[in-house]
Amino acid sequence: MPANDDPINSSAGDFQRLKRALRTLSATNHALLRASNEKTLLNEICRVAVEEAGYIMACVAYKAHDAAKSIPLVAYAGFETGFWEQAAPSWDADSARGRGVAGTAILTGKPAIIRNVLADPNFAPFRELAIERGYRSVIGLPLKVEGDMIGVLCIYAPEPDAFDGDEVGLLGQTAEDLAYGIESLRLRLRNKEAEETIKRLAYFDSLTGLPNRTQLRERLEQGIAEMKQQRRPLALLHVRVSRFREINETLGHLEGDKFLQETASRLAKAAGETGTVARTGEDEFAILLPKRDAEFATRMARKILVTLYEPVELSGLMLDSRAAIGIALFPGHGTDPTALMRRASVALYQAEHSGSGIAVYTGTLDAESARRLALMGDLRHAVESNELLLYCQPKVHISSRRVCGAEALVRWQHPQHGLLNPAAFIKLAENTGQITPLTYWILDAALGQSYAWREAGLAQPLAINLSAHDLRDPRLLDRIGSSFATWGAQPDWIQFELTESTLMEDPVGALVTLARLKDLGVELFIDDFGTGYSSLAYLQKLPVDSIKIDQSFVGKMTAKEDSAVIVRSTIELAHNLGLQVVAEGVENEETWTRLATLGCDVAQGYCISMPIPAEDFKDWVDRSRWHARTC
Ligand code: C2E
Ligand code: CA
Ligand code: CA
């Protein structure tokens, strides 16, 4: 056939080819305007090149950073039939497959053309596959995105010498526009992701993935508005888990985080579809229950306490978690988010101090509760700002009338309220997870004081009270060890007192900790004996040296016969077990004499001395008729 009869291989053909390339370019620009994601854009460009411009096949492939430096296909249109997969082009300059149009375009950053598939030696590896599909010439156009050659747009024509001059220019322009389109889509995607991250940070807690306080407030506002319209109630639960600080301090932040995540997932599970759980503070969560009343909220609170009580495994330890929950309701307790949140938190405070663990808001706080609520905040700073004082109360051996030690009792010199007794803040410290720093303070203060006494020639043991929280503190033993090292202390410098009810909270765990304390060589006392219902069998197992009969029995023993009976039989029981007996709360001479008759070993109480500042103890011993000498 004469060349000029062929519509494509003639000047008319030149025009046709140019038209084909122009169509590709303008359709590409249309596609760019409409594209909302990269994959659709690439498919559309390939479709346009084949269906609208008349090429036989068009495809886009991106270079991979694999060993073969392959260029996998990401989009195509037209007569492909597995060509690319079998051809397996590469962007490896040293491989024969890297010399095709795809590899060359990527490597050089310029359009690569095979004018005649049958003749070009660089096309040898792909020739058979191309002939089978009727490809006669090919152009590979590099795609440069954000300065990097990311891939190639390849276009296949059914005739040889299809790509030259102006057509190459137009197709080059197409590829550049396409690359620009890819770049802006990727940028848009990244911006969207960034926007979502910002939104997530502003509205969600990053550790637990739960909504944060800001989101809770918004949801509460929406919820209140909806419930107002529907004339339905709404419940807000404020939850505080009690052991987070302790875990954070003793096991480290990773374990603390794990504990919070576990707590969050249990709360979410308990709340189910009905509620929104949010993390509102370090160890605080809230649950929003639209359409729910006080009864439902209380039931939900009970369920939560039970699920949180299941032990969590942290650092190989099984730790159970306690929580307290305060409940406030719309509209009964408040009609705006601030009021409702505040009342739920007052109820939480009431729950923590009633001992029940759950409280529904009940109107205004009495003056005493309000004062304690404020104290709770101050207590956090009391240890750091050195507001605690070490007091002690002497103990006297009854038969010899000699001083045989003292009990360490903490006092808090509050900047506004003056000198506070432990009754005002120990329970509070226990309930708000602040007993650990307080115990550590006492430990150091007691050993420092003991050191000073020994310097001054007084060798009396000082007994430190431990709380139930202390028994569960995995760092307690290490802490005692390092305080001992600091002061060069001997085991007979201090003793520990643990109440009977503390031991009975976790009899098995207490036994283990007591054994470890005993291994230090210190003496151990069971405090407030008679109030904790321990069994004789359990008592026999405990590695303790003495028991302290609770002052409620001692104080009444001269007036009430049943108290006297309890004191007498306790002394007998203890002696049978080989334990010493201390009577607390000895307020008068008559009690002293009765105790002496019953064979009680040691007495402590106001008739001997009130608790005094520990630094005055040496003077007291020197002045008093209770002569100092180790029992
Ligand atoms: P406790 O261990 O039973 O301490 C004895 C309490 O009885 C002391 O009260 C003491 O002042 C009081 N007391 C002493 N003699 C008499 C008496 O003859 N009659 C009467 N009615 N009471 C007497 P305090 O110092 O107010 O301590 C109260 C409780 O606070 C202590 O009871 C103890 O459980 C706790 N506590 C005190 N200091 C600490 C501490 O450093 N750590 C811990 N965990 N608890 C402490
Ligand atoms: Ca005590
Ligand atoms: Ca006691």
Chain mean position to CA 135: 61
Note the ligand closest to the C-alpha atom of 604: 1
Average model confidence (pLDDT) across the chain: 89
Task: Find the ligand nearest to 395 CA.
Answer: 1
> Residues 56-86: pLDDT tens digits?
999 999 999 999 999 999 999 999 999 999 9
| Confidence class for position 311, pLDDT limits 50, 70, 90 | confident
Query: Which ligand 1 atom is the nearest neighbour of the CA of 611?
Result: 11
Residue 379 tokens read as 């207590």
Mutate to test the pocket of ligand 1, among 388, 389, 426 (most ligand atoms within 8 A of CB): 426
Distance in Å, CA 156 to ligand 1 centroid: 94
Ligand closest to CA 587: 1
pLDDT, residue 12, reads: 62
Q: Name which of 440, 476, 480, 446 is nearest 463 in CA terms.
A: 446
Structure tokens that stand for 39 in this block: 């994959």
**Cβ < 6 A, ligand 1 pocket:** 393, 408-410, 421-423, 426, 442, 465, 467, 527-528, 551, 584-587, 605-606, 611
pLDDT of residue 50: 93
Cβ distance 465 to 445 under 8 Å? no
Give 600 Cα–ligand 1 centroid separation in angstroms: 20
User: Ligand 2 center to residue 496 CA distance, Å?
Assistant: 9
Top mean pLDDT of 177-186, 372-381, 430-439 is at 177-186
Q: Could you tell me the two tokens for 86?
A: 């079998």
Two tokens at 224?
């209140």
Ligand of minimum distance to the alpha carbon of 586: 1
Query: Which amino acid type is present at position 238?
Result: H
Q: Which atom of ligand 1 is nearest to the CA of 422?
A: 30
Instruction: Over range 173-197, report the average pLDDT.
Output: 88
Q: What is the pLDDT of residue 381?
A: 82
**Atom of ligand 1 at shortest distance to CA of 409?**
38
Closest residue by Cα to atom 42, ligand 1, is: 465
pLDDT value for 321: 78
Measure the CA–CA gap between 392 and 445, rounded to whole angstroms.
11
| Long-range pairs for 273-279: beta carbons < 8 A, 24 or more residues apart | 274/300, 275/237, 275/300, 276/211, 276/216, 276/219, 277/210, 277/211, 278/205, 278/210, 278/211, 278/212, 278/213, 278/215, 278/216, 278/219, 279/205, 279/207, 279/208, 279/210, 279/211, 279/212, 279/213
**Cα–Cα dist 576/596, whole Å:** 17
Quick one: how far is CA 179 from the chain centroid?
44
For the stretch 525-549, pLDDT in tens is 999 998 877 777 788 889 999 999 9
Residue nearest to atom 7 of ligand 1 (CA): 585
Question: Which is the closest atom of ligand 1 to the Cα of 497?
Answer: 2
Task: Work out which ligand 1 atom sits closest to the CA atom of 442.
Answer: 41
Q: Which two tokens stand for residue 5?
A: 């009869």
Say how many Å lie between the CA of residue 74 and the centre of ligand 3. Answer: 79
pLDDT at 626: 64
| pLDDT value for 628 | 41
Please report the pLDDT score of residue 631 as a whole number: 31
Ligand nearest to the CA of 550: 3
**Ligand 1: which atom is nearest the Cα of residue 439?**
42
Burial class (CB in 10 A: 0-12, 13-18, 19+), 322: middle
| Residues 383 and 436: beta-carbon distance below 8 Å | no
Q: Which residues surround ligand 2, an ion (CB under 5 A)?
A: 465, 497, 527
The residue assigned the tokens 């003639």 is 10
Nearest CA to ligand 1 atom 24: 422
DSSP single-letter state for residue 7: S
Which atom in ligand 1 lies closest to the alpha carbon of residue 606? 18
CB atoms within 10 A of CB 568: 17
CA of 524 to the centre of ligand 1 (A): 17
Q: Give pLDDT, residue 3.
A: 39
> Ligand 2 centroid vs 527 CA: distance in angstroms?
6
Q: With a threshold of 0.75, does the pTM exceed it?
A: no
d(CA 118, CA 89): 18
Atom of ligand 1 nearest to the CA of 548: 3
Q: What is the 3-state secondary structure (H, E, C) of 380-416?
A: HHHCCCCCEEEEEEEEEECCCCEEEEEEEEEEEEECC
pLDDT of residue 370: 63
Nearest atom, ligand 1, residue 435 CA = 44
Kindly give the interhelix angle for 507-519 and 476-487, rounded to the nearest 10 degrees.
20
Please give the pLDDT value at position 11.
60
> Cβ distance 447 to 484 under 8 Å?
yes
Distance 54 CA to ligand 2 centre (A): 96
Question: Of the ranges 328-337, 469-478, 579-588, which is most confident?
Answer: 579-588
CA distance 85 to 69: 14
Query: Residue 4: its pLDDT value, please?
Result: 41
Mutational test site, ligand 1, from 436, 502, 584, max ligand atoms within 8 Å of CB: 584
**Of 33 and 471, more confident:** 471
Which residue has a Cα nearest atom 3 of ligand 1? Answer: 528
Question: In this predicted structure, what is the pLDDT of residue 5?
Answer: 43
Average pLDDT over residues 214-228: 94
How far is ligand 2, taken at its centre, from the CA of residue 39, in Å?
74
In tens, the pLDDT along 591-620 reads 999 999 999 999 999 999 999 999 999 999
CA 466 to ligand 3 centroid distance, Å: 11
DSSP β-ladder status, 148-157 and 57-62: antiparallel
Ligand 1: which of 410, 421, 465, 590 to mutate, judged by most atoms within 8 Å of the beta carbon? 465
Ligand 2 centre and the CA of 550: distance in Å?
A: 9
